[in-house]
Amino acid sequence: MVKNVKILRIQTLLLFVLFTSSVFAQNSVSKKDFSGLEAFEAFQERQYSQVKEVLDAKNALTTDEQILLNLSQLKTGNSNGDAIEKWLVKNPNHPMRPLASFHLGEYFFYSKDSIKAQKYLKDVSPSELSKRDKASYGFVYGVLQLEGERYNSAKNLFGLAKSNGFDDQLMLTYYQSFTEYHLGNTDEALEGFLKVQGSDTYGNSSKFFIAKIWLEQGRITEVIQLAQNEISDTKSITNSGFHQLVGEAYALENNAAKADAYFERAIQLHPEKPNAALYYQAGVSKFKIGNEKKAIEYLTEAGIQGGEYAQLSALQLGRLYVKEGHFEKALTAYIESSASTNAAIKEESYFHAASLNAKLGFYAEAINYGNDYLKRYGDNKRAEAIQDLIAQSYLKTSNYDLAIEQLRNAGISNNIQREVYQKVTFQKAILSFNDADFVAAKDWFRESLKYPSDQQLKDESNYYLAELALRDNKYDLAITLYNRQSKVNDLSRYGLGYAYYNQEQYQKAKQYFQGVRTSDQKVNMDAKVRLADCHYATKSYQDALNLYNQLLSQMSSPYLYFQKGLCLKNLGKGNEAINAFERVYANAAYGARARFQSGMIHFESAKFSEAIPYFTYIITNQSADPLVSESLLNRAICYKNNGQLKESQQDFERILQQHIQSNAALNAILGLQELDQAGQEINKLSSFIAAYKEANPDNGSLELIEFEAAKRLYFDFSYQAAADAFEKFLVDYPASGNKTEAKYYIADSYYRIQDFERALPLFDELKYVRNELTGRVLTRLGDINSKLGNVKAAADAYQLLIDLSLSAKDSYNAKQGLMQLHYNHQQFNKAIDWANNIIGSDWKPINGEQEALLIKGRSWYHLSNYEESMQSFQKLSEGKDVYAAESNYFLGLIAFEKAEYDESLNLLFDLNANLGSYTEWVDRSYLLIAKNYLAKDELFQAKATLRSIIEHAKIQEVKNEATKLINEIESNTQTNDSTQNKE
């Protein structure tokens, strides 16, 4: 039986009130005739009125006499002690000080001012007091020790009171018994309580303690008989306590029904809010008789009050919730009880916490609690079951980092562990691959091959490693890895085809592309396209043409029409080739090249007049295209062959003025020389030659070495060193043909070390350049201005990039930049528009659509349009990536804000079960779970969840918020309790 400490403390205060009247009564001793006695003798006999008569008869009083007079007035109620207190301060060493201090302390004791009583009595030495005062001092100071729970000191002082003949031996015996009980001396306590049980003043309280002691001694029948004789329907602490004792007695006899009735009555008769012990006992009895609802109510109340019953109640609540099938609530209860200092409670709590986490799909937490269990209770009979649970959780968890760490710590020493390790490292690799973290993916695929127990996983790991090698342009390695599979499937053949194709080994590539037959039609179509390209590259033009035509019957593609035109051109079918090229004139990617090839068909057929319009169109409308210099050169030759020497001269000179570093520049000089020899006056030929030499100096090889060295620094991520090297390069070669590219690398190096202030003007200088760098320059301009808060400048850069239509990738980068720019500046409607644009685009990178959907969902959320927001998040929620984790969190948050708390909890529990690797969203989801419980007024569940967050969360921001929230709950709980007690 657990001692009810709170009841005993209240009882102490109650009895303190009871005995006060008795002690005051002893001060009213019948007056005797002391007319001939001195004042001091009268005071010692407690004849305080006589003291006043004696001293009033004197003309003048000594200091001692004045003190006696003041003490007498204090004893008769004609003084509040102020004069004595002041005198004691001024006279710390006066011989009368002990006497004055004792009586002043005694006065404050009976005035119920324990602090002042303690202050004056603590310095009194009993040896300086009379026998009667010693007895009073021992009793009074002893009671003060009880208030401070200093029971040994109280025992000694009560002994002093008894040995000096304390007047009220019955009261003294009661307090001595009370003291012995709290010192654990139940036999001595029982003997004393039995002596005073007949007292009108102390009898009821004494019987209460007799019953408690008998209960501890197992004298159940006697407890029930005694308590039942004392109980009534009066609301009081003692009466409630007697009912509680009878309930405990019946509980020890396993009579749950009777125990429940008395515990329930004890709660009803308690004049204040019952303590945790009574709520706990009542809750357990309700559980035993099958009243689960009331059991949960009482046990929850006991848990909220804290102390040793918080964990006891949590354990019982866990069992109750499991019985009712409320496994989430059971889990939080067992987590709470796991904090107990009781070894048995702690062991059972850890076991059930591990089991329930696994049952609910929270496999990472199941592993945590399982391993904690094994560390603490590895020799327990349930340890084997926990080991099985951990192994199964490893197989199912999505928190691969934790699984890998735990397996490594365990040593990976048996076949099961090796199989699990292969699988979790493979899944971690897939997760990294899907998140486009290819460096980490490569490392994890290699790690999964350390223990190749499962042949299928081994083959898949080699396949993905081959794909990554192909992506890194390591074609020989990719070929080796594809061939390491036990069976080379169609996807591997597809990859092998590309590995050879990218090395221009077209004959070998053909062999693999021909055999591709996958379930993915996009892959099959692409393999056919590459097979046709291989035919073209090996000059099997008719085979290539046949396959391009076959593909065009299934889909329309600018690339295919362009390639068809090339095949027809090489087969000498010029007009058919031009017809094919005409199909792509309007296409940004292939239009200029198609016109150029159409012009070349006429050019190579010596139809110069027919060729000129094609080259002219490119020159006029494609000013940024590399084909402009070649078109100028070919048009100049056409003019020359047509006898239009002046027009030919103008085109040659234009090449040298505008494209002096192009491949056409040298031929332009040669062309001018030919015109000069033909009689066309060329006045600036020597200056053009000098300009060409200056633009293309002979020491180009040294220049190239230095340029490539600077690039190497850039690609080695040494960006500051790269910027310095390129700046030196520009000083040494101010007219280099690589000048523009060098400036780009300087600007991008500063961008990558986040020195945006230095990068911005350099990119701004390059924004008018129209070459292969244009897209990257404008993207960087948009990104930098966005980071610096220059919203308009950022938007202008992105819009210009869209308008130029350089490539699908550049267009995407611009749209993505605009989407993110508007979102970051809370222009949510514009962000949604650009997200929709991206989603509807023909091309976007891996995860491009997911990012757009996420921004769209967030934006609708910030606009409070929950329906639209949910549509975006639901499209992402079924995935296994970070977008799915965040989307599921937002779906839970929206449900919470719509007061759909059960729906919110289900969504958040699913997030934790299926996407446990994404720590940030798991931590934030637990905080939202706690807020859901608070909203549902499930205070116990909320507190247990918040404590778990504080102990286990990885995100400090979340831990801080959880700490703040639980402090607010505790503060509110204490305030409410205080209000109830006052009421």
Mean pLDDT within 823-849: 92
Contact 664, 631 (CB under 8 A): no
State the angle between helix axes of 774-787 and 791-804 in degrees (0 to 180), rounded to the nearest 10: 160
For the entire predicted model, the pTM comes to 0.51
What is the rounded distance in angstroms from the CA atom of residue 239 to the CA atom of residue 233? 8
State the angle between helix axes of 608-621 and 627-641 in degrees (0 to 180), rounded to the nearest 10: 150
**Per residue in 589-640, pLDDT tens?**
899 999 999 999 999 999 999 999 999 999 999 776 789 999 999 999 999 9
Domain residue ranges of the chain, discontinuous segments joined by +: 878-983
**Per residue in 325-362, pLDDT tens?**
999 999 988 888 888 888 888 999 999 999 999 999 88
* Confidence band for 699, pLDDT divided at 50, 70 and 90: very low
What is the rounded distance in angstroms from the CA atom of residue 908 to the CA atom of residue 889? 6
* Confidence band for 19, pLDDT divided at 50, 70 and 90: very low
Range among 3-7, 515-519, 961-965 rated most confident: 961-965
Mean pLDDT within 825-846: 92
State yes or no: pLDDT of 885 exceeds 80: yes
Burial status of residue 292 (CB atoms within 10 A of its CB: 0-12, 13-18, 19 or more): middle
* Confidence band for 159, pLDDT divided at 50, 70 and 90: very high
Of the chain, the percentage scoring pLDDT greater than 70 comes to: 94
What is the rounded distance in angstroms from the CA atom of residue 939 to the CA atom of residue 354? 23
User: Which residues, in sequence order, are CB contacts of 860 under 8 Å at separation 6+?
Assistant: 828, 832, 866, 868, 869, 872
Strand, coil or helix: what is 326?
Answer: coil
Backbone angles phi, psi at 580, to 5 degrees: -70, -45
How many of the other CB atoms lie within 10 Å of CB of 512? 26
Q: What pLDDT score does 276 carry?
A: 86
Backbone angles phi, psi at 222, to 5 degrees: -65, -35
Query: Across the chain, what does the average pLDDT equal?
Result: 88
**Distances from the Cα of 96 to the Cαs of 73, 453, 546, in angstroms?**
16, 95, 128
For residue 802, which of 779, 773, 824, 781 has the smallest C-alpha distance? 779
**Distances from the Cα of 916 to the Cαs of 431, 857, 913, in angstroms?**
12, 22, 6
State yes or no: pLDDT of 15 exceeds 90: no
Burial status of residue 437 (CB atoms within 10 A of its CB: 0-12, 13-18, 19 or more): middle
What is the rounded distance in angstroms from the CA atom of residue 559 to the CA atom of residue 619? 22
State yes or no: pLDDT of 669 exceeds 90: no
What is the rounded distance in angstroms from the CA atom of residue 38 to the CA atom of residue 46? 13
Contact 933, 921 (CB under 8 A): no
What is the rounded distance in angstroms from the CA atom of residue 475 to the CA atom of residue 481? 10
**Per residue in 892-946, pLDDT tens?**
999 999 999 999 999 999 999 898 889 999 999 999 999 999 999 999 999 999 9
What is the rounded distance in angstroms from the CA atom of residue 205 to the CA atom of residue 192? 12
**Per residue in 399-424, pLDDT tens?**
788 778 877 876 777 787 788 889 98
What is the rounded distance in angstroms from the CA atom of residue 238 to the CA atom of residue 593? 102
Looking at this protein, which amino acid is placed at residue 279?
Answer: Y
> Under CATH, domain 878-983 is a member of which superfamily?
Tetratricopeptide repeat domain (1.25.40.10)
Mean pLDDT within 415-440: 90
Contact 441, 425 (CB under 8 A): no
For residue 939, which of 300, 455, 163, 504 has the smallest C-alpha distance? 300
Ramachandran bin of 89, using left for φ above 0, alpha for ψ from -120 to 50, beta for the remaining angles: alpha
Of the chain, the percentage scoring pLDDT greater than 90 comes to: 55
Three-state DSSP string of 506-572 = HHHHHHHHCCCCCCCHHHHHHHHHHHHHHHHHCCCHHHHHHHHHHHHCCCCCHHHHHHHHHHHHHCC
State yes or no: pLDDT of 809 exceeds 90: no
Q: What pLDDT score does 495 carry?
A: 95
Contact 123, 135 (CB under 8 A): no
**Per residue in 476-526, pLDDT tens?**
999 999 999 999 899 999 999 999 999 999 999 999 999 899 999 999 999
How large is the greatest C-alpha to C-alpha distance in the chain, in angstroms?
A: 163
State yes or no: pLDDT of 22 exceeds 50: no
End-to-end CA distance of the chain: 31
